Amino acid sequence: MSVTVRVPAKVNVQLAVGAARADGFHDLANVFLAVGLHDEVTVTPADELRITCSGPDSDQVPLDRTNLAARAAIALAGRRGLDPAVHVHITKDIPVAGGMAGGSADGAGALVACDALWGADASREELLDICAELGSDVPFSLVGGAALGTGRGEKLRTLEVGATFHWVFAMAGRGLSTPAVFREFDRLAQGRDVPEPVVSQELLDALAKGDPDALAAAVSNDLQPAALSLFPELAGTLAAGRSAGALAALVSGSGPTTAFLARDAGSAAKVAAALGASGTCRTVRTAAGPVPGATVVAGA
């Protein structure tokens, strides 16, 4: 018996970042959109906890207990007095260390899969609590769709979205560490007042209407200057996507994946082809959103 859960990547259409808090985290106004790039997490009973991973970037995925999928299995087992003796296999399609919540997706996926495998019957609320313990972006991987995250990003309010948005994602040749990008944000913010993070009403209206032009005018990412400072070549990728006709170009989360909003699926394919030919990135993918969060696809 095994259980497989499919979990989406995310793009942040707004990422407003406040000043560093006493605990080192930053208050955010974080508008997440789940997009159709997925990891699959399969859990099978085993003698002891073991993680394996397959997929193009799988050699960069940690297979020890730092992996959020391992931590999710341990957290749920701990609450139920169980031994987390499972083999967790991750079929990876979300870029690693890319700013698209790939590690968070695996944490949420393993949690939902273990819950089903063990018949742990955790409530939605308990699952969300465990996700928030695992990391700031993990609750969103569970719920998917579109949501506003406040606090350090873990307090979620579901958002209405009026249409499917079409995106192109350019993956970079190396990853960026999220803590390093936040540290660079702090360094760049030295000597100036960082305003409280506030969600953009214009952006919420654009999502609700399903209007790609209005969304393009409203997207923003306060971590982008920090990501560009650590990874200056990303400016060339953003420029290539803009000149290929993208409505908006931005760094996804802490990067280094760059995200390009297109008017429709046909336009996304054109932008993707131009970016692929530009020599400014490693690979290019198209994906639409919103899509559902962690979903059991086999073995429930």
Nearer to ligand C5P, 23 or 47 (CB): 23
Quick check: 184 binds ligand C5P (CB under 6 A)?
no
| Alpha-carbon gap, residue 137 to 90, rounded angstroms | 18
Instruction: Tell me the pairing of strands 155-158 and 146-150.
Output: antiparallel
Nearer to ligand C5P, 2 or 229 (CB): 229
| Alpha-carbon gap, residue 131 to 112, rounded angstroms | 10
Beta carbon of residue 153, minimum distance to ligand C5P (angstroms, whole number):
5
Quick check: 137 binds ligand C5P (CB under 6 A)?
yes
Q: Which of 6, 89, 152, 285 binds ligand C5P (CB under 6 A)?
A: 152
| Alpha-carbon gap, residue 169 to 284, rounded angstroms | 6
Q: Are 197 and 18 in contact (CB under 8 A)?
A: yes
Q: How many CA atoms lie within 13 A of 182 on its CB side?
A: 17
How many residues are present in the chain?
300
Nearer to ligand C5P, 150 or 278 (CB): 150
Quick check: 139 binds ligand C5P (CB under 6 A)?
no
Quick check: 136 binds ligand C5P (CB under 6 A)?
yes
- Phi and psi angles of residue 43, each rounded to the nearest 5 degrees, phi first: -115, 135
Quick check: 28 binds ligand C5P (CB under 6 A)?
yes
The tokens describing 280, both together, are 């400014």
Beta carbon of residue 181, minimum distance to ligand C5P (angstroms, whole number):
8
Q: Are 156 and 129 in contact (CB under 8 A)?
A: no
Q: Are 289 and 167 in contact (CB under 8 A)?
A: yes
Q: Which of residues 8-27 bind ligand C5P (CB under 6 A)?
A: 25-26
Beta carbon of residue 34, minimum distance to ligand C5P (angstroms, whole number):
17
- Catalytic residue set: 10, 137
Beta carbon of residue 257, minimum distance to ligand C5P (angstroms, whole number):
16
Quick check: 179 binds ligand C5P (CB under 6 A)?
yes
Interaction site with ligand C5P (CB under 6 A): 25-26, 28, 135-137, 152-153, 178-179, 182
